[in-house]
Structure 1
Amino acid sequence: MNFARLLFLALQIFIVSMSSMLSLSTPATAAESVITLDEATTLALQANPDIAVTLSGREVENGQVLQAGARPNPTLSGQIQDLRSQNRITSIIISQQLETAGKRDKRIAAADANIAIADADIRIAQAETSAKVYAAFYQVLAAQQAQTLATELLQIGTTSKETTAKRVLAGKVSPVEETKAKVVEAGLKVDLVNASQQLVAAKKRLISLWGKGLASAETTTFTAVGELDKLSTLPALTELAAELQNSPRIKKAGLMVIQKQAFSAIEKSKQTPDVTVSLGAQRNQELGGLTQAIIGLSIPIPLFDRNQGNLQSAKAREVQSQDEKAALENQLQAELAIAYARWQSQIEAITTYSQDILPGAQSAFDAARKGFDFGKFSFLEVLDAQRTLFQTKTQFIQTQASAHQAEAEIQSILGVTSTYKPLVGDVDKKESP
């Protein structure tokens, strides 16, 4: 086999490798399990530790509601006056405290407010977990595609090294070219190792949201199935800001105000003293064992302690909760504006990559490959143009992942667990060049 035929065969292998490189999807192997975004979200909502904590908190508040409705226990007391049998007076009295000013109803109202807050905590945890899963899932998709690109680039680097070695043996190029090709291949191996490590780390971040731990390496043997370039369209910022009032965090802040108002009502009711009624019998031996009825009534006199300090503190906490709600609204408005701006910038970057950068990198690679066919460029120059194309595609992948992360942050701020409809228009799904 002469050198020209050998070179032509090498070019054919190179072109076939280039064609396979253009696919950005990562198919699952037969030994791997596959998981979709919906499945990943369902796993997290069922077993996430943060959600489990809020569910346990709800059970705690259930007990508090039961306790809030309990009435005061009656008191049974007895006494003996004079231990001498002929002078002994024996008394047995049962007393019952009667709550006034609706204290029991106010306690129940406060406990119900705590239940509502616990429910809001559950919704917050579910929304935040869903958003974290959304971001982590697309990070896995991005890492899978980055690993695929790194693998294909290494294959091409290995082919270029072997081709260059043959050209050196044929005396067509300097041995320095072979050394450069070996250095490039070694660097590509490092890139593949890094990409594989980043994929494992991304999978473990997703797994941690399922509450299954990170101890077993086998847990990362799954493939995420989805479309990284399937982005979402969002309403205008003003429309999203209007939805903030329906977010579970804002609703919780409103419930906190109601809770503090309920506590204030409890403290105010304590200013009205409770009444204690007593009923009993007394047996008087001095009167020949005569049994006498005892009826009593006691009411504390609010002369010194009128619970004014606790009431003042409760009122101050009520005002504080209103200020905290206003502060939270301002904070979420700012966070939403920042996340929305980041999402917009990533969408614009995706458009630029699709329309300008990727086509330019592809054009440069095509020109270098044609120049190599006519002997105007070295094989390493073709490899350099090809590597630039791969790096551009890798950056494009990361930009898409960043857009999904910004959307996940918006979902977390709004407290929603569903995604928006796919984008249409300039940022719609496009075929990579």
Structure 2
Amino acid sequence: MIQSLVSRRYRRLGEVLMALCVAGGYLSTAALAQGVPEPPVLSGRATLTIEEAVDRASSVSPELRSFRSGVDIAQGDVITSRLPSRFNPGVSLEAGPRLNTLADASALQFGVTVAQELDRPEKRAAREQVALLGFQVEQAQLQAARLRLELRVRTFYSQFWLSEQLLKLAVEREQLATRSLTALQERYKVGDISLIPVNLAQVELSVSRAQRERQEGEAAASRAALLVAVGEPPERSVQPQAALPAAPLELPELPRIFQLVIEANPVLLASETERRRSEAQVQLAQAEALPNLSPLVSYRREGPENIVVAGLSVPINLFNRNQGTIFSAEARRTQTAALREQRALELRTQVEEAYARYNAARRVLQTYTGDTIAAIERNQGLVEEGFRAGKTGVTEVLLARRDGLNARSAFLQAQADLYTSYVQLQNATGGRL
């Protein structure tokens, strides 16, 4: 609905301003064809849609590749944590003669010992819990990276679209200024007007030309930024789609949006999972302080005798009781809790700002689709009537035209702001808005 309303009002603004330019019939047909700069030719440029830009950026993003690898690494940790034991059994072999110097005899001695260090059950459970939570952290961070990339590309695209639309307005303004100057010069030559209106039109042409050149630079810069983000050569010639995707004119109240942020924001979800993993790491560090048991079985053959021995090895935690690891894990637990609070505050600030920008843009759109257009239409009639009666001069015509172009620029800026702020809120709520 908003896009249809935008297009209809946009065309009406153009009709109003063009009528102002030819008010009173002071522009001849011949003058309209002289020295007019051509608008940007878009037909030869491929159209890059916003969804295509997002898809291309996602397929080539090194950041996403890095996070996908992080997920695979975490999955490997989960596999390792589920092994029956981290330790492989050890085998030692012994062989050699046994000399009996008293009896002046010798015998062959042979021995095999098998030992296996066993993890305590509580250690295995804690280690698997840490690995599973680490896997969930990496998954949440990957999702956060996807949304962050999509937000960046959509913001770049919005700026690209806006700069192209403003470039069209700048070209249109220069065209109108050129036509006005040509027509006024003709009237000055026949003595119909003084030199003052001609000078005013010349100043307007210089200003509009400078604005057009500046806007060309901004359009090129925004296009290059978007193309680099999607992995395309910055010099590639593309144009945006005709209109930005529609954004709703009504959103939930701010408290509801904050609730969605807490429930679904991937950054907060990753932070909460990281906090839970730090709790599990404390439990793992405390479990690691307990010694493992190492059962062993030994077989020996000494001459004609066969000897089988079973034993159990237990380390004595006299010096290293895992104090340092426990201390670090407890500090990490405090750190992750503080980081989660910090990220929640940052997100709250971002949501507050985006919500305020959204409402401001919505009010601007409502203003420019209502009262402002009606005022421009009334002003058009007054300017036309005054010019025909000889009561309105060129200055009033130029001001009316400038007001119309400024209104259209503000309208386009509000469209871009509405879309960008909506995308930011969507990103903050994990796409649940």
Which of 284, 296, 303 pairs up with 1:278? 296
Q: Secondary structure at the match of 2:115?
A: strand
Q: Give me the whole-angstrom Cα distance separating, in 1, the residues matched to 2:139 and 2:249.
A: 29
Equivalent residue number for residue 183 of structure 1: 203
Q: Which of the residues 230, 233, 251 maps onto 2:269?
A: 251
User: Aligned residue for 2:91?
Assistant: 76
For residue 131 of structure 1, what is the aligned residue in structure 2?
A: 151
Identity %, equivalent residues: 21
Q: Check the 8 A contact 1:267/1:307 in 2, yes or no.
A: yes
Residues 231/375 of structure 1: CA separation in 2 closer, same or farther (3 Å cut)? farther
- The equivalent of 2:122 in structure 1 is 102
Q: How many Å apart are 1:80 and its aligned residue?
A: 6.1
Q: Deviations over 1:111-160 (max 9, x none)?
A: 11111111101211122222233333332222222111111111111111
Residue 116 of structure 1 aligns with an amino acid whose one-letter code is Q
CA change 1:255–1:316 in 2 (3 A) is: same
**2:367 aligned partner:** 352
Alignment of 1:340-419 (within 5 A): 340-416=355-431
Q: Which amino acid aligns with 2:297?
A: L
Residues 1:193 and 2:213 aligned together: yes
- Give the whole-Å Cα distance in 2 for the aligned partners of 1:78 and 1:127: 59
C-alpha displacement of 1:400? 2.4
Given the superposition, is the C-alpha separation of residues 270 and 165 from structure 1 closer, same or farther in structure 2, using an over 3 Å criterion?
same
**Does the C-alpha gap of structure 1 residues 230 and 267 become closer, same or farther in structure 2, counting only changes over 3 Å?**
closer
8 Å contact kept, 1:36–1:226: no
Query: TM-score when scaled to structure 1?
Result: 0.80
2:163 counterpart residue number: 143
**Structure 1 residue 77, shift from structure 2 partner:** 2.6
TM-score by length of 2: 0.80
- Give 1:293's aligned residue: 308
The structure-2 alpha-carbon separation of the partners of 1:12 and 1:384, relative to structure 1 and needing over 3 Å to count, comes to farther
Specify the SS of the correspondent of 1:114. helix
Where 2:387 maps in the other structure, the secondary structure is helix
Seen in structure 2, the aligned counterparts of structure 1 residues 163 and 90 have a Cα distance that, compared at 3 Å, is same
Structure 2 residue aligned with 1:307: 322
Following TM superposition, by how much is the alpha carbon of 1:236 offset from its aligned partner in structure 2, in angstroms?
A: 0.8
Question: How many Å separate the matches in 2 of 1:141 and 1:75?
Answer: 68
**2: distance between equivalents of 1:79 and 1:348?**
88
Deviates most, 331-340 or 354-363: 354-363
Residue identity opposite 1:306 in structure 2 = R
Match of 1:425 in 2: none
The change in CA–CA distance for 1:12 and 1:82 in structure 2 (over 3 A counts) is same
Q: Please tell me whether the aligned partners of residues 137 and 224 of structure 1 are also in contact (alpha carbons under 8 angstroms).
A: no
Which residue does 1:20 correspond to in 2?
none
Q: Is the 8 A contact 1:117 1:256 kept in 2?
A: yes
| Shift, 1:57, TM fit | 1.4
Is structure 2 residue 75 aligned with structure 1 residue 62? yes
Distance 1:14 1:315 in 2: 81
Give the aligned partner of residue 262 of structure 1.
280
The residue number in structure 2 matching 1:114 is 134
- 1:313-361 Cα distance to aligned partner (Å, 9 max, x none): 3234334433433443343233322321232222223333333445435
CA distance in 2: counterparts of 1:171 and 1:236, whole angstroms: 64
Question: In the TM superposition, what is the alpha-carbon distance from 1:189 to its structure 2 partner?
Answer: 1.7
**Any idea what SS the aligned residue of 1:149 has?**
helix
Change (3 A) 1:322 1:99: same
Q: Give 1:397 deviation, angstroms.
A: 1.6
Match of 1:36 in 2: 49
Whether 1:45 and 2:58 are equivalent positions in the alignment is yes
1:164 matched residue in structure 2: 184
Distance 1:296 1:146 in 2: 85
Name structure 1 gaps, 5 residues minimum.
1-6, 17-25, 421-433
Matching residue's letter, 2:359: Q
Distance 1:148 1:400 in 2: 16
Contact 2:285–2:326 (CA under 8 A) maintained in structure 1? yes
Amino acid aligned to 1:236:
E
Show the counterpart of 1:204. 224
Separation in structure 2 between the aligned mates of residue 366 and residue 192 of structure 1, nearest angstrom: 29
Provide the secondary structure at the position in 1 that maps to 2:370: helix
Q: Distance in 2 between matches of 1:381 and 1:331?
A: 49
Q: Give SS of 1:293's match.
A: strand
- The letter for the 2-side match of 1:225 is A
Quick one: structure 1 residues 101 and 271, their matched pair in 2 at CA, closer, same or farther if it must change by over 3 Å? Answer: farther
The answer to whether the Cα contact below 8 Å between 2:57 and 2:229 also exists between their aligned partners in 1 is yes
Shift of 1:307: 2.1
Q: Could you tell me how far 1:166 is from its partner in structure 2?
A: 0.9
Which residue of the partner structure matches residue 257 of structure 2?
A: 240
What is the CA–CA distance in structure 1 between the aligned matches of 2:244 and 2:197, rounded to whole Å? 40
Q: CA RMSD in A?
A: 3.2
Unaligned stretches of 5+ residues in structure 2: 1-23, 34-38, 100-104
Matched with 1:335 is 350
Equivalent position of 2:19 in the other structure: none
